[in-house]
Structure 1
Amino acid sequence: MVAGTHWLASATGMGVLERGGNAFDAAVAAGFVLQVAEPHLNGPGGEVPILLWSEAEQRAHVVCGQGVAPAAATIEKYAELGLAVVPGTGLLAATVPGAFGGWMLLLERWGTWRLADVLAPAIHYAEHGVPVLERISATIASVEGLFTADWPTSAATWLPGGQVPAPGSKLANPVLAATYRRVVAEAEAASATREGQLAAARRAWYEGFVAEAVAGFSASTAWRDSSGEVHGGLLTGDDLAGWRATVEEPAAFDYRGHTVLKTGPWGQGPVFLQQLALLDGVDLDAMGYLGADYVHTVTEAAKLAFADREAWYGDTDVPLADLLDPAYNADRRALIGAEASLELRPGSPGGRTPRLPVLPEPGTASDAPGVSGARSPQGVGEPTVGAGAGGVEQTLPDGQVRGDTCHVDVVDRWGNMVSATPSGGWLQSSPTIPSLGFCLGTRAQMFWLQEGLPASLRPGARPRTTLSPSLALRDGRPWLAFGTPGGDQQDQWSVNFFLAVVHGGLNLQEAVDAPMFHSEHFPSSFFPRGSRPGVLHAEERLDPGVVAELRRRGHEIEVQGPWSLGRLSAVARDGGFLKAAANPRGAQGYAAGR
């Protein structure tokens, strides 16, 4: 089974399984196709965290394909430039491009296919073109002025013939195809073995011609970014050469016979586990699935968990055991009252004193302190796309529009499972590097430019990413791989999906389809880091009586379109069957299997 956010990627992964590849081969091939099929949501310059279950090893792993901040990226450096937050677009927000290394590590350690075979579908689609989704066209249209006025290399790549590509037309990226062909050619020239070729491909990317082009572009060019000013980059060849993807132990929490596995707190993944820890002492079944008590309680638990994310998470020593401790969560659970909280309330795990970043004033999402020209940033956030394209995006108070990213899940005939959430390096994030056909990512916008915080900017540190794939065991056996795009919403939509299966009694597709909701209460992870205390988004399919009761309890409900929130997908091993589900919102998610 393969499920994901674009039919071409899911079909590619299924083709790999049909031809004898395993789940890891399929995920890698699908991941590279996503870069071509959804270029407005991810790209080669981005990153990927991966959760996997190895049936041979009988254990789960995290592959961290999240790159780190450059050696020159210090708080003092940004202060010299007059910046109080990292720009949401342009070269200053770049971290080491980690996606390639993450996919290569997954393929090398657990896969069976050769580099040329897993890259062939992506090279084909980049050379010959993919159908332009309505969202791709809307995204490019939203940044057409930026491209033509300030980012001519991006205009050359994404405005063929000087025009925004129309929905349904074909869009190719021959320069990217040539980049991947060269990587394959250099790898095959370097070695006759699969492992040798993968090692040579990594060298080409992080020490060879790709790294040279990235470093040269960062050092020798400067571009207007979301601060309104023109800046060059900080990323160097040494930054790329010194980085490697890593394999780590997942964080875990047991909930009602299920064990949920997430990345460590260098990403937001454990906030899912904290929500379960809070809800473990609540009788959700008695509240009735999607009733007012249920939605209120789940939302208030999310607010508490995400407040802890702000105070405690980062690429540092995080007291996760204390954050998941039953006694700590019993005290925190007592804070959930009958009314909606309008405060950001982090806890004190192990008696530690929380420290929160200094935030922009509530409701001022487009006015970042110390950032000039930030009134109407284009291309920022978890990728900004055209309003209403496909009925999925939501307009923010300042007129920006929120999009999402990509996801793929795979389970194979042997029982191996993969959940991966590639993102970053989307076409509107940064100017295209003309010799490579892709742009750098902007994940450094998730660092704080304030000293002493877990997520403070430090050279060589990982940004506290929102990318958050999920695995779950049931009664100790691998059961479910799932996830969604959506930035800060990922570990709300995914929690809602999981609870719909566990408490709502829904099957996978019913749980994906169910009316979705999420809180906007806590600070955004994206430039310019605003928050909207008390705001709760809900699809209009949620019962009107429930919405009215939530408003009575103090939630500021903003009703969204009937099929507008969440882009979940999932695969499962369940009762002797393999199962899968994909998101109907936007009519592009796809699940396949046999």
Structure 2
Amino acid sequence: MFTTRPEIAGSFGVAASTHWIATQVAMAVLERGGNAFDAATAAGFTLQVVEPHLNGPGGDLPAIIHCARTKTQHVICGHAGAPRAATIDVFRKLGIDQVPGTGLLPAVVPGSFDGWCLMLRDWGTWEFADVIAFAIGYARRGAYVLPNINAAIESVRAMFESAWPTSAAVFLLNGNVPPTGGLLTRPALAETWERLIREAVGSNREARIDAVRKAWYRGFVAEAIDRFFRDTDVLDVTGRRHRGLLTGDDLAGWTAHVEPPVSLNYRDHTVLKCGVWSQGPAFLQQLALLKGLGVAALNPLGAEFIHIVTESAKLAFADREAYYGDPNYADVPLTQLLSEEYNNDRRRLIGPLASNELRPGSLPGYQALIDHLPSPDVAVTAGIGEPTVAGAGEPTVARLGAVRGDTCHLDVIDRFGNMVSATPSGGWLQSSPVIPELGFCLGTRGQMFSLTPDHPNSLAPGKRPRTTLSPSFALRDGNAWMAFGTPGGDQQDQWSLIFFLRMVDHRMTIQQAIDAPSFHSEHWPSSFWPRTASPGKLVIEGRYGADVRNELKRKGHTVEQGGDWSEGRLSAARIEPDGQMYAGANPRGMQGYAAGR
């Protein structure tokens, strides 16, 4: 099968990510004796500089790791909760019925930094100063300006100039959008990281990393965030200016943590995902449905495969909408949702024709509550199901000519067999204004909360919003096998699932499964402001033939054809029993690469 590039193979180590520089940074760390956790942390910080339109220091991080020494897998949750002052009543009194997609009101505690530091402290071997040095170098000397960075800044230039002057000072060069191919420097961000290095005082490596974490969440970083949120009125997508709710006390009261992954067996494999505070279990629910539908016998590029996978996704994501939320605040019936009995019943809903209904399952003792959709006058679109308001939404890789904000992904395997799958995001340059003393902005993950009382994902102080961020990990015959994932908001657990099925059921290589034409549904409400839905809408890449499009239309799908290379930004890395490692990355977007030796 044709591939755009070879599947990378090696026995020393491999890395893959959404940006070639981050991939090379990860390999540089491995070459200098670091392990996969050192390499992933260094690459993660680097992504904050080289892909500022996709993630930033004020964002969030979920990761799934495999420790070769203990042969165990863990979820690192760098995904934090809402401010203590954030309540549904507060938003109601402001005349807001949906958490805005930009500005300061949707900001939650920035969890990414502590997530990376926790990984480094407990599983890594390097000092903080060593892993952050790569990112500081690019912030000081400048990072290459991708076409999508140029386009993202251009899309919000007017807002920066008129309403967010601190962002204009960082991302506009003498009032101009940085040219593609030029260098964008971040001196204030470099100074923040350098000050953190100076704060790294302690008797051993772990204590020095903890000192850095303290400086961020209880020291000068938290103090600067607190001042900015208390003193600054910021224009957001409501068309009004609001101050944020986040305080220094909110940061001081939170730390990243480690928890076990949730899992499901599929053939000889076990897929691991983050918990119900993410959409990750929707991947598992799709697998549970597909177990009994014979997808291995179907043409992976054919209409019937697309139809069955899409109809399974509609059912799984309907349950996501009705039942998922932070399990510290909501009773989420995941055991029942993944049970064989439940999925045998749900599978009967998948017929030869497409459904246009949103059909969550019925579980005794639980109410299937779907958050309301906005009124049509709020759901302004540009013909592509995405908000036209500057900076709003999560910008999935360019589709149908649209350039929006998004996410990153990286995978690393080292010579010891340690593995990392991480999906950092948030804190995009277009999400909220730059805090001048720090050189970065905060994320807007709070826009994912529901303001409907009693919904599992309804807003509450300290609660984590249900996130779309969803790294993936798979075991084969009980052994660690593959780390994989993609940016893409609600599409993450569609594109990743399709990739996984093509590898497991159709024996494709990583690069073949990535390069094959893909698709996604927009049937259910988006997780991002303004939470629009397009019932029955199915987007397929242009490389599918007219016969596939026509058959899908005959089955009742509302088919929209995208570009030839428009679906997903997957990367993956796997290790086989003989010790050989393989990796691949996405040609879509022209910036993801894999490397290894």
TM-score (norm: length of structure 1): 0.95
Residues 382 and 430 (structure 1), Cα distance of their counterparts in 2 relative to 1, 3 Å cut: same
Describe how 1:440-479 pairs up with structure 2 within 5 A.
Answer: 440-479=442-481
> 1:130-155, CA deviations, whole angstroms, 9 ceiling, x for partnerless residues?
11000000000000000000000000
Partner secondary structure for residue 175 of structure 1? helix
Q: Could you say which residue in structure 2 is the equivalent of 1:416?
A: 418
Question: 1:192, CA displacement in angstroms?
Answer: 4.1
Q: Counterpart of 1:584?
A: 587
**In 1, Cα distance between equivalents of 2:551 and 2:134:** 50
**Total equivalences in the alignment:** 576
Which of 359, 374, 395 is matched with 1:383 structurally?
395
Q: Give the CA deviation at 1:502.
A: 1.0
Mapped contact 2:405–2:428 kept (Cα < 8 A): no
Question: Aligned letter for 1:298?
Answer: V
Q: Tell me the residue number matched to 1:168.
A: 181
One-letter identity of the residue aligned with 2:277:
W
Provide the secondary structure at the position in 2 that maps to 1:212.
helix
Q: Would you say 1:240 and 2:265 are equivalent positions?
A: no
SS of alignment partner, residue 63 of structure 2: strand
After superposition, where does 1:296-315 map in structure 2 within 5 Å?
Answer: 296-315=307-326
Asked whether the 8 Å contact 1:446–1:527 carries over to 2, the reply is: yes
Q: Equivalent residue for 1:179?
A: 192
Distance 2:72 2:534 in 1: 40
**Cα offset, 1:335, TM superposition:** 0.2
Question: Does residue 229 of the first structure (1) align with residue 240 of the second (2)?
Answer: yes
Q: Among all aligned residue pairs of Structure 1 and Structure 2, give the percentage whose two residues are the same amino acid.
A: 59
1:501 CA displacement: 0.5
Displacement, 1:12? 0.3
Which residue of structure 2 aligns with residue 345 of structure 1?
A: 359
In structure 2, runs of 5+ residues without a counterpart are 1-13
- Deviations for 1:113-143, whole angstroms, at most 9, x for unmatched residues? 0000000000000010011000000000000
The letter for the 2-side match of 1:506 is: M
1:435-486 deviation line (CA, Å, top 9, x unaligned)? 0000010000000011000000000000100000000000000000000000
Alignment of 1:1-16 (within 5 A): 1-16=14-29
Tell me the residue number matched to 1:388.
none
Give, as a single letter, the amino acid of the residue that structure 2 aligns with 1:327.
E
The answer as to 2:33 corresponding to 1:27 is no
Structure 1 contact 130–172 (Cα < 8 Å) conserved: yes
Q: Deviations over 1:404-444 (max 9, x none)?
A: 31000001111111000000000000000000000010000
Q: Secondary structure at the match of 1:440?
A: coil
Q: What corresponds to 1:217 in structure 2?
A: 228
What is the DSSP-based 3-state SS (H/G/I as helix, E as strand, rest coil) of the residue aligned with 1:35? helix
Distance between the aligned counterparts of 1:401 and 1:86, measured in 2?
23
C-alpha offsets along residues 326-349 of structure 1, whole Å, 9 cap, x if unaligned?
A: 010010000001111000000023
Question: Quick one: structure 1 residues 350 and 111, their matched pair in 2 at CA, closer, same or farther if it must change by over 3 Å?
Answer: farther
Question: For residues 487 and 375 of structure 1, do their structure 2 counterparts lie closer, same or farther at Cα, with a shift above 3 Å needed?
Answer: closer
Contact kept in structure 2, 1:60 and 1:249, CA below 8 Å: yes
Summarize deviations over 1:260-286 as a string: whole Å, max 9, x none.
Answer: 000000110000000000001111122
- Matching residue's letter, 2:338: L
Q: Find the aligned partners of 2:277 and 2:135 in 1 and give their Cα distance.
A: 30
CA distance in 1, matches of 2:80, 2:472: 20
Quote the residue 2:337 is aligned against.
323
Aligned to 1:493: 495
| Aligned residue in 1 for 2:125 | 112
Deviation at 1:591, TM superposition (A): 0.5
Distance 1:353 1:258 in 2: 32
Contact 2:144 2:183 in 1 (8 A): yes
Mapped to 2, the partners of 1:421 and 1:245 lie a distance apart of 15
Query: CA–CA distance in 1 between the matches of 2:457 and 2:176?
Result: 40
| Distance in 2 between residues matched to 1:588 and 1:393, nearest whole Å | 12
Identify the residue that residue 136 of structure 2 maps to in structure 1.
123
In structure 2, which of residues 519, 535, 547 is the aligned counterpart of residue 533 of structure 1?
Answer: 535
Show the counterpart of 2:4.
none
The farther-off stretch of 280-289 and 110-119 is: 280-289
The aligned amino acid for 1:583 is: N
TM score, norm. by length of structure 2: 0.95
Contact 1:539 1:562 in 2 (8 A): yes
Cα distance, 1:360 vs. partner? 2.4
CA contact (8 A) 2:152 2:405 kept: no
- Counterparts of 1:559 and 1:589, CA distance in 2: 23
Letter matched to residue 101 of structure 1: D
1:394 to 381, 390, 399: 399
The whole-number CA distance in structure 2 between the counterparts of 1:21 and 1:296 is 45
Would the aligned equivalents of 1:383 and 1:426 in 2 still touch at CA under 8 Å?
no
Query: Conserved in 2, the CA contact under 8 Å of 1:9 and 1:30?
Result: yes
